[in-house]
Amino acid sequence: MKKKLFKSVLFFLSIFILISCDSNIEKKRTKPNFIIFIADDISWDDFGCYGNKDVKTPNIDKLAGEGLIFKNMYLTTSSCSPSRNSIITGRYPHNTGAPELHSQPPMDMKTFIFELKESGYFTVSSGKFHMGDYARKSFDIIHEGRKDNGLGGEAKWVSSIEKRPKDKPFFLWYASHDAHREWGENKFSGTHNPENLTPPEYFINDGPTRKDLADYYDEIKRFDYSIGQVIKTLKEQNIYENTFIIVMADNGRPFPHSKTRLNDQGVKTPFILVYNYGKFKGETQSLVSSIDIAPTILDFAGLKIGENYQGKSFKKLLENPESEFRNFVFAEHNWHDFESHGRMVRSNEFMYIENKRNQYAQRGPLDAINSDTYASLLSKFNSGDITDIQKDIFISPRPREEFYEIKNDLFQRENLIDNKKYIEKIKELKLVLNQWKNDTGDSEPSEITKDWYERRPGPKKQKSITKNDEPVGGPYSLTTSFYGKRGEFSGKSNNAAKINNKGPF
């Protein structure tokens, strides 16, 4: 009797162990992989799936049809390295300790990618890096540089998947060099015929501008092609269904009116999310910030979301895209080639922008004012044959405050700051912005970083040299005496890099 009882217990114990093992295997097998495709300098409306009828992005558009399109995803700044560091730390630029272009956070700053790596994920950065030495420990492998017909690390996107350790889930940070100026070698050159393009109304519709746009779209086409090759590989290896895919950009297009601006052309990003196991489809109009990406990925990976992340997981939004998420998104603009200090808050209906260096015109960063598009705008400005929208970049002094009603002004053309109808709404957003600045330790230093280049209207180009594939300026006569000198960073006096307060949500 005892022997039979023992055999029965042993049998059921064996079954329990097998079920537990199978459950663990399944859990391990279904732990999601992650890929973030991040473009360099592409505005929110420069993909076909966002309504652009000129650009050719078939692979991105197909992904959008299989996943979820975010119509109101906002970056925290329209400047490359501060934006990328904000994304991977889940913190506002002044809270990373590196709010300016070409600056980097302290070595002890934590990234969500490092946490994935520590939990057993295989992590790769391939393409443009531009985040600083602190971020290097987050990756098992880093492919960077710009070789291989202008692609650089992008040429390793497919092989990184093929050569990955098959017993680990993976996180891939696929950072394209496209579409950063100057336009490089591109086998897709000529894909977009300049004569068939219609420039946005804030540009001049002439030959040089259309050619500039065509070259830009050709680079977007290459970004799209590279994504298509990766998707093909994922499907061939039967891992597409369990891969959480994001397509986005780091800041607006490298043209006047866009990059470094706090309007939608500067800080609103295209954002497509595909995860077939989650069956997330359609579109969402909800406000989301790029600092929310880090906690969301940690959430899906089953990891604890630490207090260091100022963003929040939008996992529930994916399950119900029509629900609301944020009440507000915030963005900031600090030094990027030229002295600047601007802040923005957007609610569902309105946008308020504060310009603390409004004595300067907003011509754009160095690469934008060295463009043919800018040259055409300047020529028309000098001749007087220019519209109010086109000459916006030359206004000096410009408004210290801006206020827009989004539903009636998609591209923020009509500044309503002096319209008495909106006094209460303006007051409300100003209070929210001030609360955000106070809560997160933001500041306006008296001695911020000055211009590294002369504020020349053109047309002679100001040059810069490169180091590690990043423009860093150079000893040319057109640089100012402040070249290479940093002032006090925003948030430094408040030790903002140690502040975790999220601010209004």
What pLDDT does residue 30 have? 75
What pLDDT does residue 149 have? 54
Number of C-beta neighbours around residue 20 at 10 A: 10
Are residue 231 and residue 98 in the same domain, yes or no?
A: yes
- Does residue 8 form part of some domain? no
Using the 3D structure, point to which of 281, 306, 323 is the last residue of a domain.
Answer: 323
Show the tokens assigned to 263. Answer: 């309007």
- Does residue 23 form part of some domain? no
Using the 3D structure, point to which of 293, 323, 353 is the last residue of a domain.
Answer: 323
State the CATH number of the domain containing residue 268. Answer: 3.40.720.10
Euclidean distance between CA atoms 264 and 346, whole angstroms: 10
Are residue 314 and residue 177 in the same domain, yes or no?
A: yes
Are residue 283 and residue 361 in the same domain, yes or no?
A: no
What pLDDT does residue 278 have? 84
Task: With beta carbons less than 8 A apart as the criterion, state whether 202 and 390 touch.
Answer: yes
| Alpha carbon separation from 501 to 76, 314, 441, 494 (Å, rounded) | 16, 18, 9, 13
Are residue 158 and residue 222 in the same domain, yes or no?
A: yes
Euclidean distance between CA atoms 19 and 294, whole angstroms: 33
- Does residue 160 form part of some domain? yes
Q: 3-class SS at 212?
A: helix
What pLDDT does residue 148 have? 53
Euclidean distance between CA atoms 499 and 505, whole angstroms: 16
Euclidean distance between CA atoms 191 and 466, whole angstroms: 29
> Scanning the structure block, which residue is given the tokens 């162990």?
17
- Does residue 385 form part of some domain? yes
Structural domain harbouring 102 = 31-323
In tens digits, the chain (505 residues) has pLDDT values of 445 554 554 444 444 444 444 444 434 447 999 999 999 999 999 999 999 999 999 999 999 999 999 999 999 999 999 999 999 999 999 999 999 999 999 999 999 999 999 999 999 999 999 999 999 999 999 999 765 555 557 889 999 999 999 999 999 999 999 999 988 778 999 999 999 999 999 999 999 999 999 999 999 999 999 999 999 999 999 999 999 999 999 999 999 999 999 999 999 999 999 999 888 999 999 999 999 999 999 999 999 999 999 999 999 999 999 999 999 999 999 999 999 999 999 999 999 999 999 999 999 999 999 999 999 999 999 999 999 999 999 999 999 999 999 999 999 999 999 999 999 999 999 999 999 999 999 999 999 999 999 887 665 565 554 444 444 443 333 578 899 999 999 999 999 999 999 999 9
Strands 170-175 and 141-143: unpaired
What pLDDT does residue 21 have? 47
- Does residue 347 form part of some domain? yes
What pLDDT does residue 24 have? 44
Are residue 204 and residue 237 in the same domain, yes or no?
A: yes
Q: What is the DSSP string of 14-58?
A: HHHHHHHHHHHHHHHHTSPEEEEEEESS--TT-SGGGT-SSS--H
- Does residue 12 form part of some domain? no
Using the 3D structure, point to which of 257, 291, 323 is the last residue of a domain.
Answer: 323
What pLDDT does residue 265 have? 97
Q: How many CA atoms lie within 13 A of 395 on its CB side?
A: 14
What pLDDT does residue 479 have? 72
- The type of residue at 117 is K
Are residue 315 and residue 226 in the same domain, yes or no?
A: yes
Strands 271-274 and 243-249: antiparallel
Are residue 342 and residue 254 in the same domain, yes or no?
A: no
- Does residue 21 form part of some domain? no
Show the tokens assigned to 272. Answer: 């497509």
What pLDDT does residue 465 have? 45
Phi and psi, residue 261, nearest 5°: -90, 160
Are residue 190 and residue 311 in the same domain, yes or no?
A: yes
Are residue 478 and residue 444 in the same domain, yes or no?
A: yes
Q: String of b and e for 160-173 (b: at least 16 CB within 10 Å)?
A: bbeebeeeebbbbb
- Does residue 14 form part of some domain? no
What pLDDT does residue 381 have? 95
Are residue 238 and residue 197 in the same domain, yes or no?
A: yes
Are residue 304 and residue 425 in the same domain, yes or no?
A: no
Are residue 143 and residue 186 in the same domain, yes or no?
A: yes
Euclidean distance between CA atoms 134 and 78, whole angstroms: 21
Instruction: Give the total number of structural domains in the chain.
Output: 2
